[in-house]
Structure 1
């Protein structure tokens, strides 16, 4: 009898060991698979069981949380949602997150280890600290000026602080209200479908994700390349350029939108935006020199994050001479995001040094204790300091007595460059109106802001003057807001 009891005990022990092994298998080896199983609702329930941390502008929250009383308890709310959508993105219980909501999700959701001095304690108790906050570099007045300036027209504005890279405004128009996507159910699905089928693409962040032909605003890059390479040593010297200019190796004649460009100097070509002169200068710099200059300004750079990813701006590295001539005036395959062109203006304003743009100044715990600060870093030198000084003078002349007079601000030094970018089959599309600029208060040691504005549906004539009519007034309003905010 004792033998049978012993064997029964062995068998029970074996069952216990098998149970422990199975528990270990489920909890350790297969836990990730079970956790990722779509049928497992516990991660989602836990994620939305407490309020999400906030995104701050000027120290004030532009987001919030609402108790829905549903299984997924807390839904995201937004103050002035369309105004800040290109900054915040959305946080949806159905469709996930985007932009700062995605980039800083661990802090906002309360899962970042930096939110607690004892993160292991929360692992053991299966809890988590309150969601932290993400304080942005955006200035409310600058953002509002950009948004009001576009007034619903398709386009974008990017404004940065040249000396630091802080993004002061990031606007894409038309916009949308991220709150429409916050919850679950048929209403949210209907809003998602509507936004994604809207021909105006309101969910597209044009400031970061859309690339446009930069048109004549790219002439700033070409002029800087010519000065750095020694191709132009005297900006006031005639360039012996005919009007129109025959594109090298072709019978195609490149015209100017205005008059007075024949044999114009580079200074006059920037001031009055002469296509012929700048195309010829680009050819003289050469393909290698132009590519290197463009890349110093940030073109062809992959992996730029602010912290959301930014589309790659393009300057072709393999072109014929006629294609290079067109690329040197911002046409052919040259394409740039508005943020990239704001970086071009910022590099000029900052003495040639290009700062990496960034959008999150710091992240904090719920009580304001710091977690991480934004990383100010240099992307290198876009041009020689002497070249930057000369480019500042040329850009100031554009605003004082050139194609960019509408950007002038009393009591401030303003440099700018207009642009009209042709597009569409046979250039049949309405031109994009561009303006890039920077502003420094009189007596201030450094420029306070660099701005890029693009208006897609600018009904203006094809000359560079359309940038002055459609985009320069928006840039002026943004610069005025930035100067008054200091």
Structure 2
């Protein structure tokens, strides 16, 4: 029979063990639940990095086929990103680098591609409970491979960009920036990757700059479509064929500066003539007559001055100054002074005209799926804004068709299709002595089709060309025509 003292000792020892067990469980819970995120984010914790590359990354798809992949390196960071036609699709995919992180779609959809998105788990909170990770999912883009290739070939390595949209939906059909680069050279680690990074970032041609989304240019005369929409919507112009009373030469308000025209016959010209032959004087005066508040409201509806635009990658905001004197407003109304726009922005301008004045929100990701094809999410069609009244869009469509059929945009004409466009030659540099940028924006509708199939914007920097050879009609319009022809052929097959 045990003595009373020894029984008390056993009970105390058992209670102490129980207390220690409870404390151990509480600490485990604290570490695994309450401190899990902080420990995961600790730079000294290599498990997160090793886990990230332990399995293949999901793929980015074009036309339902992967343009990315993964290879097993056998190293600690086992799986490294690979790219099919890397330079062709780099402005879409961006890069996924074990050294330098992620950009563009690789970044915007990283959670799906890396398998960390909760939406990939079979049950809610399953990943948090299991501390496991499902296979990386796939991201299907809206890009049409044939259009992407046509735009890429059209630029032929010259500095510039091409963006093509489906006006009715906002789907981005082509997104090309040139010159480009192979994102695969940045995928891994080591001295070769560091050397490639340094070379790409110091190259004078800036191949890693996404000129389609992240570079803004003076839009030149292509911006006159925005000014024309503002003038028609405000009632400043009621008859596009009526004389506007604009003198030639036109002196900028409050100055002695004379605004020149490259075209002839611009004195007292109509809006229709001014768009057809790109009269600076007429469009500058119309911008002043609309006034700064009216112009600001108009440009906002088209997407200017919007720092929050995502497609889902970030887009650099296009600029129209919010405070200007009348003389600067006149220059801004013809796409000069401080007015700048991304190629995506100017494609949105063309798309709004083509779509009856309603601007659909542009987007680059059609859907995301699990590794075995189960739907995770789909991007819905959304309206960005009512850019102009339907009657205004109808008038502008006619004016843009006239530019192609009888004006400066004849190089964009497509037999058997209705094509509308606007050329632009944007001056820049100190004293406007830099090589001008060549612009073309437009849209195309197949004969008998209910609506245009594509809207496009092309900008060509081409610093190697002679200044006198640069023009929107000569340099940019042929590229746009090829892309639009390809889009019409693709739509006909569908």
Question: How would you bin the TM-score normalised by the shorter chain?
Answer: over 0.9
Aligned structure 1 segments of 4 or more residues deviating by more than 6 angstroms = none
Aligned counterparts of 1:5 and 1:368: Cα–Cα separation in 2: 60
Aligned to 1:391: 396
Report whether the alignment pairs 1:245 with 2:250: yes
Query: 1:30: which partner in 2?
Result: 35
| Shift of residue 47, structure 1, vs aligned partner | 1.2
Residue in structure 2 matched with residue 45 of structure 1 by the alignment: 50
User: Counterpart in 2 of 1:410?
Assistant: 415
Which stretch shows the higher mean deviation, 433-442 or 252-261? 252-261
Q: Compute the displacement of 1:300 (Å).
A: 1.2
Written as runs of structure 1 = structure 2, the 5 A alignment for 1:46-65 is: 46-65=51-70
Which of 126, 131, 137 matches 2:142? 137
The alpha-carbon deviation at position 122 of structure 1 amounts to: 4.0
Distance in 2 (CA, whole Å) between partners of 1:131 and 1:16 is: 38
Distance in 1 between the 2:219 and 2:126 partners? Answer: 53
Q: Name the SS of the counterpart of 1:65 in structure 2.
A: strand
Distance in 1 of aligned mates of 2:198 and 2:42: 26
Is this contact kept in 2: 1:420–1:466, CA < 8 A?
yes
Mapped partners of 1:14, 1:63: distance in 2: 54
1:420–1:462 Cα contact (<8 Å) kept? no
C-alpha distance in 2, partners of 1:34/1:56? Answer: 34
Residue number among 95, 101, 118 corresponding to 1:96 in the alignment: 101
Shift of 1:258: 2.4
Matches within 5 A, 1:1-400: 2=6, 9=14, 11-400=16-405
Q: CA deviation at 1:30?
A: 2.8
SS in 1 for 2:421: strand
1:14 Cα deviation (Å)? 4.7
CA change 1:119–1:10 in 2 (3 A) is closer
What RMSD, in angstroms, separates the aligned Cα atoms of the two structures?
A: 1.6
| CA contact 1:159–1:168 (8 Å) conserved in 2 | yes
Q: Is the 8 A contact 2:311 2:362 kept in 1?
A: yes
Kept in 1: contact 2:370–2:376 (CA 8 A): yes
* Structure 2 residue corresponding to 1:478, chosen from 468, 471, 483: 483
Q: Does 1:424 align with 2:429?
A: yes
Conserved? CA contact 1:460–1:466, under 8 Å: no
Q: In the aligned structure 2, how far is the partner of 1:298 from the partner of 1:254?
A: 28
Structure 2 CA distance for aligned equivalents of residues 182 and 78 of structure 1: 9
Q: By how many angstroms is 1:235 displaced?
A: 1.0
Q: Which stretch shifts more, 255-264 or 214-223?
A: 255-264
In structure 2, relative to structure 1, the CA distance for the partners of 1:322 and 1:137 (3 Å cut) is same
Higher mean C-alpha displacement, 26-35 vs 90-99: 26-35
Change in 2 beyond 3 A, CA 1:333/1:462 = farther
Aligned-residue offset at 1:462: 6.1
Report if the CA contact (8 A) 2:435-2:467 is conserved: no
Paired residue total: 485
2: CA distance between counterparts of 1:460 and 1:435?
Answer: 19
8 Å CA contact 1:257, 1:462 repeated in 2: no
1:418, CA displacement in angstroms?
A: 0.5
- Deviation of 1:481 (Å): 0.8
Quote how far apart the aligned CAs of 1:104 are.
Answer: 1.1
| Conserved? CA contact 1:433–1:470, under 8 Å | yes
Give the corresponding residue for 2:458.
453
Name the CA distance, whole Å, in 2 between partners of 1:10 and 1:383. 78
Q: Which moved more, 1:65-74 or 1:239-248?
A: 239-248
CA distance in 2, matches of 1:378, 1:16: 59
Identify which range, 215-224 or 293-302, moves more after superposition: 293-302
For the residues of structure 2 that align with 1:468 and 1:117, how far apart are their CA atoms? 54
TM-score normalised to the size of structure 1?
A: 0.96
Q: Deviations over 1:44-80 (max 9, x none)?
A: 1111111111111111110111111111111111000
Is the Cα contact below 8 Å between 2:335 and 2:426 reproduced in 1?
yes
C-alpha distance in 2, partners of 1:280/1:366?
57
Deviation at 1:245? 1.1
Residues 349 and 388 in structure 1, CA contact (< 8 A), matched pair in contact too: yes
> Is the 1:431–1:462 contact (alpha carbons within 8 Å) kept by the matching residues of 2?
no
Q: Which stretch has the larger CA shift, 100-109 or 207-216?
A: 100-109
CA distance in 2 between counterparts of 1:119 and 1:71 reads 31
User: Displacement, 1:23?
Assistant: 2.9
- C-alpha contact (below 8 Å) 2:118/2:127 kept by paired residues: no
